[in-house]
Structure 1
Amino acid sequence: MKFWSKVEQGIDLMAEYLGRIGWVLVIYCMSLGLFDVIMRYAFNKPSLWIGTTIQYAMVLLACVSGAYALNNDAFVKLDVFYASFSPKVKAICDIATYALTFLYLYVLITKGIDAAQASFFTKQVTTNAVPIPLYHLKAVIPFGAFAVLLVATKKLVQDILTVTGVRKEDTPSGSKLFDSQV
């Protein structure tokens, strides 16, 4: 169990760092979006590249924030029934839904790798006035899905330990590694 504890800490640390990258991307999108609006409407000088880079950053945000959100239970759940369940019943429900999660992530990873390879070999770029390479962005998509898969696997093991009775308390699964710094 000591080894698995270290693995969980590593996954938590990865998810926290991805969350921090997502935070920077949100700030980037907000500040450059505001700058673009001011330049367009106040000075009649629209940019050729800001809109495209914001779209790029939004895709990156979706890729890096999934693992953070899953690790900190930030996804929306239908809590009408789930909230009243015991930790053991919640774990059983979560185990049942992880099959769909793994299937979705498998398809996203395999098809994402195929799309990234095709984009890399064709040196795909955006089609607007400023050609920005897309193959880097497409390579991040399977990486983000793999990060979510790691967090989902960690949660699956925690749920199995809860169902089998090895883990007695209902501990929050999110990482608190950076709480003292925030």
Structure 2
Amino acid sequence: MPWLIRKYVHYVDMVNRGIGRFIMYFIFVLAGILLWSSISKTFFLPSLWTLEMAQFAMVAYYIIGGPYSIQLGSNVRMDLFYGSWTTKQKAWVDAFTVMFLIFFLGVLLYGGIDSTVYAIEYGERSRTPWRPYMWPIKAIMCFGIFMMILQSISEFFKDIARIRGVEL
């Protein structure tokens, strides 16, 4: 494989591994928010922000952790046939199906950027009583989707290398 592709795979994997390892700890942020929600409902006045903030934390955890999940191969696959195939057969199927994933993520990113620009231009807020601005979570989603596209391309290059009998 050309050195440029090797460098691309190395750097994208390194960045997504670092971000993924960092974002793993957001589960504790989510747990803290939900714990405060329970405490405030029991002993104080219920907080207006806890439910929506928990949703935002979960979105960040899920979307930003997605590229790391792809990198680890822990995404969902139908193993009825896939599990019994050779490494080369799996690489052929993965190289083909990743194109659908990249297309889907591209459409998602296009819509996400459009929605984020709208939220910034018009100061879009949530319709809940807390009324937070929506652009921060939309920007986080766009970032996560963009990183998933980069990781999917990296996985495509790895599959091509496996087909050729090389490991990246």
Q: Which amino acid is 1:23 matched to?
A: M
How do 1:7-26 and structure 2 match up within 5 A?
7-26=8-27
CA distance in 1, matches of 2:124, 2:37: 25
TM-score by structure 1 length?
A: 0.84
Shift of 1:105: 0.8
The percent identity for this pair of structures is 26
Alignment of 1:40-51 (within 5 A): 40-41=41-42, 43-51=43-51
The residue correspondences of 1:32-111 to structure 2 (distance < 5 A) are: 32-41=33-42, 43-111=43-111
Q: Which amino acid aligns with 2:40?
A: M
1:21–1:64 CA contact under 8 A, matched in 2: no
Residue 28 of structure 1 and its aligned partner are, at CA, apart by 0.6
Structure 1 residues 145-164: aligned runs within 5 Å: 145-164=145-164
**SS class of match (1:45):** coil
Secondary structure of 1:144's counterpart equals helix
8 Å CA contact 2:5, 2:157 repeated in 1: no
Give 1:108 shift.
0.6
> Which residue is equivalent to 1:27?
28
Q: Which runs of 5+ in 1 are unaligned?
A: 172-182
Structure 2: gaps of 5 or more residues: none
**What's the CA shift string for 1:68-107, capped at 9, x where partnerless?**
1001111121112111111110001101211211110110
Whole-Å Cα distance in 2 between the matches of residues 17 and 125 of structure 1?
31
CA 1:56–1:72 in 2, change beyond 3 Å: closer, same or farther?
same
* 1:6 maps to 2:7: yes
**TM-score (normalised: structure 2):** 0.91
**C-alpha distance after superposition, 1:94-147 (max 9, x if no partner):** 012112111101101111111111111111122223221111111222221111
Q: Distance in 2 between matches of 1:21 and 1:50?
A: 22
Deviations 1:140-172 (A, max 9, x none): 22221111111111111111122123x0x5x8x
Please report how far the alpha carbon of residue 44 of structure 1 lies from its aligned counterpart in structure 2 after TM superposition. 4.5
User: Aligned pair 1:132/2:132, yes or no?
Assistant: yes
1:26 shift after superposition: 1.1
Counterpart of 1:114? Answer: 114
Whole-angstrom distance in 2 between the partners of 1:162 and 1:21: 29
Distance across 2 between alignment mates of 1:7 and 1:99 = 18
**Equivalent residues of 2:33, 2:53 under 8 A apart:** no
